[in-house]
Structure 1
Amino acid sequence: MRMPVLFIGHGSPMIALEDSPLTDKLKQVGQKIQDIDGPVRGILSISAHWYKNANYVQSAAQPEQIYDMYGFPEALYQVEYPAKGDLAITEAVQAVLGDEVTLNDRWGVDHGSWTVLVHMFPAADIPVVQLSVNSQLGPRAAYDLGRKLAPLRDRGLLIMGSGNIVHNLRQVRGDIDGGTPQTERFAGFITEAVEAGDIEALLNYESHPDAAYAVPTPDHFRPFIMALGAADGDPARAFNRENRMGALAMDSYLFTESADQAGRYDL
Structure 2
Amino acid sequence: MKLDRKKFLLGTAGVLFGSTAIYKFFQNRKGEDQMQKLPVFFVGHGSPMNALGPNPLADSWAESTKDFPEPKAILSISAHWFTKGTYVTAMDPPPTIHDFYGFPQELFDIQYPAPGDPKLAEELSKLKETNVIQDHSWGLDHGTWSVLRNMYPKGNIPVIQLSLDATKPGEWHYEFAKSLSKLREQGVLILGSGDMVHNLRVYDWRNQDKAHDWAIEANEIFKDLIQKRDWKSLSNYQNLGAAVQLAIPTPEHYFPMLYALALAEKDEEIRFYNDIIQSSVSLTSMKIG
TM over 0.5: yes
Question: Which of residues 272, 278, 288 is equivalent to 1:238?
Answer: 272
What SS class does the counterpart of residue 231 from structure 1 fall into?
coil
What SS class does the counterpart of residue 131 from structure 1 fall into?
strand
Question: Which of residues 120, 124, 138 is equivalent to 1:93?
Answer: 124
Q: Which residue of 1 aligns with 2:283?
A: 250
**Counterparts of 1:230 and 1:106, CA distance in 2:** 28
Query: Root-mean-square deviation (CA), in Å?
Result: 1.5
**Counterparts of 1:227 and 1:218, CA distance in 2:** 15
Question: Which of residues 187, 190, 203 is equivalent to 2:222?
Answer: 190
TM-score (norm 2): 0.83
Q: CA deviation at 1:130?
A: 0.3
Q: Which residue of 2 aligns with 1:208?
A: 240
Asked if the contact 1:5/1:254 (under 8 Å) is kept, the reply is yes
Size of the alignment, in residue pairs?
251
Q: Which residue of 2 aligns with 1:3?
A: 38
Check 1:84–1:78 CA distance in 2 against 1; reply closer, same or farther (3 A cut): same
**Counterparts of 1:249 and 1:97, CA distance in 2:** 37
**Counterparts of 1:175 and 1:189, CA distance in 2:** 26
Question: Which of residues 198, 220, 228 is equivalent to 2:261?
Answer: 228
**Counterparts of 2:193 and 2:52, CA distance in 1:** 17
Check 1:178–1:88 CA distance in 2 against 1; reply closer, same or farther (3 A cut): farther
**Counterparts of 2:49 and 2:281, CA distance in 1:** 13
Asked if the contact 2:122/2:134 (under 8 Å) is kept, the reply is no
**Counterparts of 1:115 and 1:49, CA distance in 2:** 12
Q: Which residue of 2 aligns with 1:53?
A: 84
Q: Could you tell me the percent identity over the aligned residues?
A: 35
Asked if the contact 1:195/1:235 (under 8 Å) is kept, the reply is no
Please state if 1:120 is matched with 2:154. Answer: no
Check 1:235–1:204 CA distance in 2 against 1; reply closer, same or farther (3 A cut): farther
Structure-to-structure mapping, 1:123-142, within 5 angstroms: 123-142=154-173
1:138-182 CA distances to partner (integer Å, 9 max, x unpaired)? 111000110011111111101101000011011111222141111
Q: Which residue of 1 aligns with 2:26?
A: none
Q: CA deviation at 1:254?
A: 0.9
Which region of structure 1 is more displaced relative to structure 2, 51-60 or 173-182? 173-182
Q: Which residue of 2 aligns with 1:264?
A: none
1:9-43 CA distances to partner (integer Å, 9 max, x unpaired)? 011111111422222111100223xxx3x220110
What SS class does the counterpart of residue 254 from structure 1 fall into?
strand
**Counterparts of 2:265 and 2:125, CA distance in 1:** 19
Runs of 4+ residues deviating >4 angstroms: 95-98
Structure with greater proportional helix content: 1
1:85-129 CA distances to partner (integer Å, 9 max, x unpaired)? 012321343355753211111100000000011111101011110
TM-score (norm 1): 0.89
**Uncovered stretches (5+) of structure 2, i.e. residues with no partner:** 1-35
Please state if 1:169 is matched with 2:200. Answer: yes
Please state if 1:25 is matched with 2:60. Answer: yes
Which region of structure 1 is more displaced relative to structure 2, 156-165 or 85-94? 85-94
Q: CA deviation at 1:4?
A: 1.1
